[in-house]
Chain A
Amino acid sequence: METTKLPPSSPSSPTTSFSVPSAEKVDGFPRRSMRRARQRRSHSSSQFRYQSSQVELTPLPLLKDAPVAELHDLFCKKLQQCCVLFDFLDCVADLKGKEIKRAALNELVESVATSRGVLIEPLYPEAIKMISVNIFRTLPPSENPEFDPEEDEPTLEASWPHLQLVYEFFLRFLESPDFQPSMAKRYVDQKFVLQLLELFDSEDPREREYLKTILHRVYGKLLGLRAYIRKQINNIFLRFIYETEHFNGVAELLEILGSIINGFALPLKAEHKQFLVRVLIPLHTAKSLSIFHAQLAYCVVQFMEKDATVTEYIIRGLLKYWPKTCTQKEVMFLGEIEEILDVIEPSQFIRVQEPLFKQIAACISSPHFQVAERALYFWNNEYILSLIEENCQVILPLVFATLYRVSKEHWNQTIVSLIYNVLKTFMEMNSKLFDDLTASYKVEKQKLKKKLVADGVQGHLHLSSSVMHIKSKSSQAKVCYNLNDINQKVFCFPSKHKHYSKHF
């Protein structure tokens, strides 16, 4: 989007067109290992920068040894102690302080998890403050500007030894039987949740895993925040789809949504339907779909199971965004369609069968055998087969021509034999219809042949006068083009062609 120019995730020098990463790419041999090694060098942590002067930590008495009267006071002191941040990129800096904080965090985790009556009201603000100070930070720029979540190793958070314990503490805090939502909601507010959601962009999968569980608990316990959380997730997704195409935590957020959708009340609110149509379905257009497709398909199916009337929106939406060039994505779409068909209501099936089976026919004739294969597998699914059988009169005419043609033409033997099975199934389903279609297909083909022959002559005569001037122009252009072609051929790639054919 024009209006939101984000700085690139890595600087490139604008004064020369020369840049090393792209060079490596064009070189044909992406030296991944080299690139990694270079990029492993870490930069300083954004988080650490804002601590003006380093405080020296002194160990406090253990919580378990504290007399009951002083327990809360000590707990509070430990929370405050844990607000001190350490530089983890310098792994030998202040080892003593790091150890004291680690021990304190461990104690806090254990105390919240095991002893009752620790969480009293005055501790809430202190606990939330400690959590905020530790986890909320501007995530650093990705070390690898072309980070591919499927191929590359993620950059792990350096301060994880502490961060993990802070997350653990937060989780235990939320799960504690003493936890009082009415007290927490004063501190876990909208601003807090917004910052929590931004952390889902973290490259570190361990962090996202914690965030997922934590956000789920927050959503479950703090009812007042639910609408807000959903709205902000919407915003994150919309930004991901239409603006940046980059957000690391889409899969995790979808996983949470999957269970949220499960809990929607019926009839579905307009807000939820809008979410489905304007956010979930467009998410299918994302380049990185493969990373979160399973979670996305789960959400979509959840919606259908809640309310069958959304089926048509979903299927028509998927057909609208059907991948045009990416076969890997096409296979994913087909997988999702099968999941949908698995739970579709017959009445809904009838509403979408026509456009749907046109698309399926197109997939069957795909030259990419995995696409064709995935589509043909639908006929192995008993429920889908029963739907097809019930609507054989409509579906068979839609796919017949394709099946017949592809069975004669496809290069891949597996596909050909799968198609034979499908044709056989159809024949058994409705042999009368099958025979009629076979006959009319042959007649049509004959007609087409004749027409082509006739057109070849007539069409030429008809066009010749009106397109004369265009033709003469374009033929000139064509000649030039061809010449260029020849020049290029011999100029750039003369060696292999010629040399080898002459001498070997």
Chain B
Amino acid sequence: AAEEGGPCQSKMAGADGDDSLYPIAVLIDELRNEDVQLRLNSIKKLSTIALALGVERTRTELLPFLTDTIYDEDEVLLALAEQLGNFTMLVGGPEYVHCLLPPLESLATVEETVVRDKAVESLRKISQEHSPVDLEVHFEPLVKRLASGDWFTSRTSACGLFSVCYPRVSSTVKAEIRQHFRTLCSDDTPMVRRAAASKLGEFAKVLELDYVKSDIISLFTALASDEQDSVRLLAVEACVSIATLLPQEDLETLVMPTLRQAAEDKSWRVRYMVADKFSELQKAVGPEITKNDLVPAFQNLLKDCEAEVRAAAANKVKEFCENLPEDNREQIIMTHILPCVKELVSDTNQHVKSALASVIMGLSTILGKDNTIEHLLPLFLAQLKDECPEVRLNIISNLDCVNEVIGIRQLSQSLLPAIVELAEDAKWRVRLAIIEYMPLLAGQLGVEFFDEKLNTLCMAWLIDHVYAIREAATCNLMKLVEKFGAEWAQNTIVPKVLGMANDPNYLHRMTTLFCINVIVHCCGYPYREITTKQMLPVVLKMSNDQVANVRFNVAKSLQKIGPVLDSNALQTEVKPVLEKLASDTDMDVKYFAQEAISGECLSSSTIVDKLNT
């Protein structure tokens, strides 16, 4: 039950006897309900309420009311913060958009981060709808208030708002905004400094170049040598944007000292960040600095003492090499990068090795055939034999890069044992992953190699004891048939699949049906012989299976096969079986049999008939 209808409610709706507002009165009542879920529902329908009230009353009654409810549960506040971002038209368009500022201002000071972030997001959104005058009269004062708030939450929120108003205000106000940002960058709570550091790059982008050089650089340098590593690492992110903004000749003096320092920071978190952002940094500083500075820095990161950092750097090996200046790319890779990569192949940490394995194949396109065979191939082979399945999988999943350069044959001798081992791994997730690469491998290794070495594996997966594997194996069959064609299916797959129809395990018998479903699907009408001559009889026979699951899957399969059969076969063979199943003792069998009967294939003429006429 709702609490007593406050003045707001009686004023807003219902009191004037306007029946059309009755649902709105209910919604508003729910805004005050004790049950959070009801309040939440109501808040989510806020635009409906506002629409019904009209712009005038939304501004004068609903918004003040909402501003008062800011002491609610965070969930409700989050929904409110989000709604208000889309409220411009509901308060009367851009002219009145500033009415939305008071509730959003309160929401931007809330403790809960998600609420605050959402409020800032909405504020950023509606800032665009302010006219330049309104921006200075209403919006910018709000930013200032937040920036000088007592509690850290409001100052944190302010950090995200500077960049949206800066470009559209007068130069005096601009100067004030810069001053506020400077103050927040040296705030004494690390939470605010973190917020400022994370917005530094974004703010730099909207500043005039001179101010970037005079203001931003000093802030950047200060944040990058903050006492807390959580602040320093955010400065690394900003470094990318800042470096992009500056002309090449200033980079050396303004950015590089800080970046060098970050790459050798005593905290691994900062070094991790440098490694993680390496490609972006590399692009931002250009080829010359890359050659002189970043190459040694990258080598150090690849040899870092923390595995986290090495893994992040290893992930970037390919991108880094790709982006090296072309004139001496090969030489840099061969003399500086490759030796480090070689060491990483036998790293003690599996995450490092698997990060490397996920990109190392990409090097072959960069280095070309000869280098690949001489230098990279041994590394690939070593990783294919790695003790950690993830490493092997990552290599296998990227085989296509190598295939283009040297052809996969070079690898096939080592590939096979690796695949077989993964195919029999004790963890089903590993098996699942290797199945997913099968079609790709089959395509690259060719049908002969496949028939000889891999076909048995694919068939073995069909009787795996994990359902997900059997399912994936079925799907794999479909992709293989698509690749190698229906005739191949008829000769290699179908006999084996049909053989399983007599398996003592009913799960295997069901797999037969699932496989038939997909084979019918990809062979389709042109190869209906396979269906009618080989598969249909087996399916029909299985309708006598003693397990109900098999029987209703027969019904389902028949429904799928139907479209490729001619009406004669349907009427004489399929229909009687389905009718028999429709009177089965099992409910589910009946249900699916009836489904199949009422399916279009039996009631109207089939595609086959149409094609025949």
Given the contacts A15-B359, A239-B190, A191 and B227 also touching, CB distance less than 8 Å: yes
A238 to B389, CA, bound (A): 40
A10 touches B393 (CB 8 A): no
Residues of A within 8 A of B189 (CB): 235, 238
Residue of A282, A495, A503 most packed against chain B (CB within 10 A): A495
A3 touches B159 (CB 8 A): yes
Q: B456 interface residue, CB < 8 Å from A?
A: no
- Minimal Cβ-Cβ distance residue in B for A140: B306
For chain B, the bracket of interface size reads 35 or more
A10 touches B358 (CB 8 A): no
Among the listed B199, B234, B268, which residue makes an inter-chain contact with A140, where contact means beta carbons less than 8 Å apart? Answer: B268
Given the contacts A27-B428, A138-B229, A495-B507, A278 and B351 also touching, CB distance less than 8 Å: no
Stretch at the interface among B110-118, B368-376, B480-488, B535-543: B110-118
B307 touches A43 (CB 8 A): yes
Residues of B within 8 A of A490 (CB): 549, 552-553, 588
Residues of A within 8 A of B429 (CB): 18, 23, 26-27
A7 touches B305 (CB 8 A): no
A16 to B357, CA, bound (A): 11
A278 to B111, CA, bound (A): 8
Residue of B152, B306, B358 most packed against chain A (CB within 10 A): B306
Given the contacts A6-B233, A7-B233, A15 and B394 also touching, CB distance less than 8 Å: yes
B389 touches A20 (CB 8 A): yes
A20 to B553, CA, bound (A): 34
B315 touches A20 (CB 8 A): no
Q: B191 interface residue, CB < 8 Å from A?
A: yes
B266 touches A141 (CB 8 A): no
Shortest distance from the beta carbon of B203 to any chain A beta carbon, whole Å: 13
- Dominant SS among interface residues on chain B: helix
Interface string of A14-54 (1 = CB under 8 A from B): 11101110011011000000000010010111101110000
A10 to B159, CA, bound (A): 29
- Minimal Cβ-Cβ distance residue in B for A492: B467
Residues of B within 8 A of A41 (CB): 348-349
A50 to B267, CA, bound (A): 11
A1 touches B117 (CB 8 A): yes
- Minimal Cβ-Cβ distance residue in B for A324: B36
- Minimal Cβ-Cβ distance residue in B for A466: B23
Shortest distance from the beta carbon of A280 to any chain B beta carbon, whole Å: 13
B199 touches A3 (CB 8 A): yes
Q: B427 interface residue, CB < 8 Å from A?
A: yes
A43 touches B267 (CB 8 A): no
Q: A269 interface residue, CB < 8 Å from B?
A: no
B311 touches A20 (CB 8 A): no
Shortest distance from the beta carbon of B509 to any chain A beta carbon, whole Å: 11
Interface string of B532-567 (1 = CB under 8 A from A): 000000000000001111001100000000000000
- Minimal Cβ-Cβ distance residue in A for B351: A11
Residues of A within 8 A of B230 (CB): 4, 6, 239
- Minimal Cβ-Cβ distance residue in B for A274: B151
- Minimal Cβ-Cβ distance residue in A for B113: A1
- Minimal Cβ-Cβ distance residue in B for A141: B308
- Minimal Cβ-Cβ distance residue in B for A190: B227
Among the listed A141, A282, A495, which residue makes an inter-chain contact with B306, where contact means beta carbons less than 8 Å apart? Answer: A141
B305 touches A194 (CB 8 A): no
Interface string of B460-473 (1 = CB under 8 A from A): 00000001000000
Residues of B within 8 A of A194 (CB): 227
Shortest distance from the beta carbon of A92 to any chain B beta carbon, whole Å: 17
Interface string of B559-596 (1 = CB under 8 A from A): 00000000000000000000000000010100100000
A243 to B189, CA, bound (A): 14
Residue of A15, A45, A46, A49 most packed against chain B (CB within 10 A): A15
Q: A432 interface residue, CB < 8 Å from B?
A: no
Given the contacts A3-B194, A13-B358, A23-B427, A282 and B305 also touching, CB distance less than 8 Å: no
Given the contacts A6-B230, A18-B433, A11 and B427 also touching, CB distance less than 8 Å: no
Q: A499 interface residue, CB < 8 Å from B?
A: yes
Shortest distance from the beta carbon of A164 to any chain B beta carbon, whole Å: 23
Residues of B within 8 A of A140 (CB): 268, 306
Interface string of A222-252 (1 = CB under 8 A from B): 0000000001000100110011000000000
Given the contacts A24-B427, A278-B151, A50 and B266 also touching, CB distance less than 8 Å: yes
Q: What are 19 residue pairs bridging A and B, where the CB atoms are less than 8 Å apart in the complex?
A: A3-B195, A4-B194, A5-B198, A7-B273, A13-B351, A16-B358, A16-B393, A23-B429, A27-B429, A43-B305, A43-B348, A235-B190, A238-B152, A243-B113, A486-B591, A498-B549, A498-B588, A499-B506, A502-B548
Q: 6 smallest A-B Cβ distances: which pairs?
A: A23-B429, A11-B311, A3-B198, A15-B358, A44-B305, A494-B549
